Amino acid sequence: MSFEELPHTADVKIRARAPTLDGLFGEAFRALMQVMYGEDRAGGTIKTVDLRADDPESLLCDFLSEALYLSEVDGLVFREAEVNLDGLSLHAVLTGEPFDRERHAKGTEVKGISYSGMSIVRDAKGYMLDILFDV
């Protein structure tokens, strides 16, 4: 599993890869948190997310948008997400900690998750995702 930032003129474009769709959602989540807060993130606080959508792209966008909302409103920085998909339903356990200006102010503010150019592709190695974070 991995992700990388790709060149983009205005926003942050991420390409993530994972052997499973659950893992791909987890990598996209990890990329979002790293863009926003850097790599220094710990655990201790747990939040759960349960969602349903009409297609995988909508489910991913809803999941990342909910994580963004929880992070901003609750003042939390998440380290990881254990994602379990059942068809078009998602259950995720997010692990993180309260925001600490000294450690977490190194990232880029993300305003939202974009559907523009979003694609989830399955190939022989698993799944690949291209996604834009609006900054």
Place of tokens 């920085």: 77
Tokens of 59: 């489910």
The residue-averaged pLDDT of 22-39 equals 95
Range of the domain at 6: 2-134
At residue 31, the 3 state secondary structure works out as helix
Tokens of 115: 């559907």
pLDDT at 41 over 90: no
pLDDT at 1 over 70: no
Higher-confidence residue of 10 and 19: namely: 19
Place of tokens 């000294």: 102
CATH number, domain at 39?
Answer: 3.55.10.10
Exposure on the CB side of residue 123, measured as CA atoms within 13 A: 8
The residue-averaged pLDDT of 1-8 equals 72
Q: What is the pLDDT of residues 65-82, one digit of tens each?
A: 999 999 999 999 999 999
pLDDT at 22 over 70: yes
What is the tally of structural domains in the chain? 1
Give 29's contacts (C-beta < 8 A, 6+ positions apart). Answer: 63, 64, 67, 78, 80, 81, 83, 92, 94
